[in-house]
Structure formats: structure tokens, C-alpha cells
Structure 1
């Protein structure tokens, strides 16, 4: 296996977090194993890593009930068809996925038709009981993207934060929405009943991540000027152990175009 699996036991619920390697942008798919089924959250960027996730899930001996797509960044939905189950998302997320159209699996060049990635079940924020387990679905705005989904498992103290949180991975500042990042950090840091935080990039973590993210957001405010190469050099020097330098490259390409 090229990715990394972290397993967390929470009584009747077990979390299996699959984090892709660097060439898969360190994207994390969550497999939430309830007594009789699996709820998958986010689908991977590279199709081969989506295949790794689904092969692992099959080994758990329970059916995947659904795939939830947290937001409309391709690294979280390109592998959706590999799961072979209904795809759920907020309506705003579905609309953005449709607007972006067909995609390509970068490592292989294989086309990914829009129909393979389009959610078919609309998520309405609120509570849902799935296989006897309470789930809370919340729409969040600002920060990495203007609309995303956060899932809470209140009985287990689990916050499925996805891209509201990166763990020891370089943050995506394409929109330069530092205030939005910080507002979401502060909002969820105040919810101290959640002691297990599942990020969209990187491995599972705990409440210490909120201070780490605040530090990084402040560094981004300070260092992100008008030169992408200079920013990458400065931020990677400040956080030399962080993964996901490729995320900086992708954001820089959008913000600054070709460099030097």
C-alpha cells in the first residue's frame, strides 16, 4: 500500500483514515465503520489511491453505504466512481463539480467523465441517524473554499473536519482568506467535546491542531506576498517537516502564473 492507514476505535464506531502519499496531495479519505456498514468521506485525487481505499474497505467485510464529498476541489472527488455507491454532497458542492466538468487522472492521463464524479444525493444540513449512530452535517463557509461540509459524531467526540483542518501539511491559500481560515479554527476549537479531529490532508489529530493552524495562518499572512517562489521558499523553511509542498505549487500556479 502506498498510502497510510490510521485506525481509531470509538466503541461501536471505528474510524479508518487513509492518507495518500505526496503525489496524491496527502488527501485523506475517512472510512467511518459503524456496526453494519461504512460511510466514506472524500474520494481521493489519484484513481490508483481511490482503488487502494476501496480495496481496504472491502477487506473490512461490510458494505460501503455512501460516499460523502465534502467540497468541490478535485482532489476530494475525482475518484468517486471507484467507490461504486451513491455520492452525497451539499447542493453548492454539486453545482461546482458540474461547472468544472470532466477531469483527467494526472498520473495516467485517463479521462474522468463528469458523470463519474457528480453527486446524486443532496445533503441537507442537520442530524441523521445512520446505522444507529448520530451524525451531524454542518455547512461551513470561508477559509480554504467558500462552501464545505463538516461532519460531527457527537457520541464519539469525532469531528470530521476535512479541509477545515490540515495536519502537518501546507495550507491552501488560493483565496487569501486568512480571516475565514481563522474564524473556522476559532469556531471549532471552542467545541471542546470533540477530541478526535479528522483532517482533509494529513493523519488524524487532536485539539492541539487548532494552535498549530493558527500559527500557520499567521505565517501565511506574513509571508504570502506577490512572488510565489519566494513564498514557497519562506513557508517551507519555517515549516520544514510539513508535507504537501505540491499544494503550494498548485495554488501558486493559479495566483501567480509561471514563475521565473
Structure 2
């Protein structure tokens, strides 16, 4: 396996957090194992890594029930078809995926949007699956225009996905630092959650909110009108973080040039 899996025992629930290698900036697929099934959250950028997550999930000996896509960034839905289950997402996320169209990987592989378009619209609220409460909340603004927050309150688990990065450079291409800070305020106000699952990086705890806030404050200070200068400065400010090439991807939106 190229990726790594972290297992967290939460009583009636076990969390299996699959993290891709650094070449796709440690993107995560969360596998929530309930007493009778497995629920997947997010689907990887590269189909090969989605295949690893699916193979691991199948190895748990319980049916893979559904895939939940939290937001409309390809590193979280490109591998959706590999799961072979209904794909759930907020209606606005579904529409954003359709609007993005086909996804083209650096090697030239094209992922047709028809293969990854969610088929089940999620409605914020509480759903009980195998006796486990899943609380779904819609969050607007931040790393993406719209994101889904998944909470397992009885297990103290908050599935933040790309509202939180852990030891990975942030993607700022949505150009909404203030929205992201508001989202972090929302997360920090949640009580009773000792486990936070990040969209990039290993599982962590609520202390991660201060780390992400610090990065955002540095980005606000360092962003100017030169993408290369910004990248150099933010990497120097955060030398221990992985995935500096995610900054290049974001810079295409932050610092567009005439082609």
C-alpha cells in the first residue's frame, strides 16, 4: 500500500483514516466502520489511491454502504466511481462538481464528470445508521465555496475534512481567508469532540484549529502580487509542512496571468 491507514477505536465505531502519499498532498478518505457497514467520506484525487482505500474497506468484512463527498475539489471526488456505491453530497456541491466538468490529471488521464457526479442529495440534519448518530452540517466559505461537516457526537469525532489541514500547506485558491477563519470559529465552538479528522494529514485534535488560524494569518500578511514570492515566504515561515506544490495549484487562481 502506498498510502497509510490510522485506526481509531471509538467503541461502537472504528475510524479507519486512509491518507494518500505526499504526491497528492496527503489527501484523506475516512472510513467509518459501524456495527454492520462501512461509510466512506471523500474519494481521493488519483484512482489508484481510491483503489487502495476501497480494497482496505472491503477487507473489513462489512459492506461498503455509501460514499459521501464533502466538497467540489477533485482531490476529494475523482476516485468516486471506484467505490461502486451511491455517492452522496450536498446539492450545491453536486452542482459545483458538474460545473467544473471533466477532471484532467497531470499525466493526462481524464476523469469524466459523469463518472463522479453525486446521485444522492444530502440534507443537513441527523441520520442514525446502525445506532450511530451522524450529524450533517453545511458550511459556506473557506477552503471551498461549500463544504459538508460530519459529526459523530457520541464518539467525539468531528470529520472536518478540508476545513482543517494537518502538517500540510493550505490550498488558498478559493481566495477566502476570512470565510475560512469564520469556519474555524464554528469548529472551535463545538464541544465534546476530542478527535478531528483532517482532509489532508493525520487525525488530530481541536488544537489544530490554532495551527490553521496561524497559517491563515501568515498568508494574509505575506500575500502580495507575486505568486512565487508568496510561495517562498510562506514555505520559509512553515518549513515543516509538506505539499508545497499545492501552493502552485492555488496560485493559478490567486495570481492569474494573461495567456
Asked if residue 179 in structure 1 is aligned to residue 178 in structure 2, the reply is: yes
User: Matched residue of 2:173: which SS?
Assistant: coil
**Partner secondary structure for residue 161 of structure 1:** strand
Gapped runs of 5+ residues in structure 1? Answer: none
- Kindly indicate whether the alpha-carbon contact (under 8 Å) linking 1:24 and 1:49 is maintained by their aligned counterparts in 2: no
Residue 167 of structure 1 aligns with which residue? Answer: 166
In structure 2, the residue matched to 1:66 is: 66
SS at match of 1:236: helix
Q: Which residue of 2 aligns with 1:102?
A: 102
Please tell me whether the aligned partners of residues 46 and 106 of structure 1 are also in contact (alpha carbons under 8 angstroms).
no
Q: Deviations over 1:57-96 (max 9, x none)?
A: 1111111100000000111100000000000000001111
Gaps of 5+ in 2: none
In structure 2, the partner of 1:125 is 124
Structure 2: how far apart are the matches of 1:246 and 1:12? 39
Matches of 1:16 and 1:225 in 2, distance apart? 40
Q: Is the 8 A contact 2:126 2:133 kept in 1?
A: yes
8 Å CA contact retained: 2:175, 2:254: no
Q: Indicate the residue corresponding to 2:157 in structure 1.
A: 158
Matches of 1:143 and 1:113, distance apart in 2: 26
Asked if 1 retains the 8 angstrom alpha-carbon contact of 2:136 and 2:151, the reply is: yes
Partner of 1:52: 52
| Residues paired across the two proteins, number | 258
Q: Is the 8 A contact 1:41 1:69 kept in 2?
A: yes
Match of 1:14 in 2: 14
Q: Is the 8 A contact 1:39 1:65 kept in 2?
A: yes
- Contact 2:174/2:253 (CA < 8 Å) preserved in 1? no
Runs of 4+ in 1 over 6 A off after TM superposition: none
Q: Deviations over 1:219-246 (max 9, x none)?
A: 0110111111111111111111111212
State the Cα distance separating 1:178 from its structure 2 match: 1.5
Are 2:218 and 1:219 equivalent residues in the alignment?
A: yes
State whether residues 43 and 80 of structure 1, in contact with CA within 8 Å, keep that contact through their aligned partners in structure 2: yes
Name the CA distance, whole Å, in 1 between partners of 2:24 and 2:178.
Answer: 28
Correspondence for 2:26: 26
2:216 is the alignment partner of 1:188: no
More divergent stretch after superposition (58-67 vs 247-256): 247-256
Deviations 1:18-46 (A, max 9, x none): 11112123211100000110000000001
Aligned CA RMSD, in angstroms, stands at 1.3
- TM value normalised by structure 1: 0.96
Q: Say whether residues 1:202 and 2:201 are aligned partners.
A: yes
> Take 1:242 and 1:258, find their aligned partners in 2: how far apart are those partners?
27
CA distance in 2, matches of 1:202, 1:79: 18
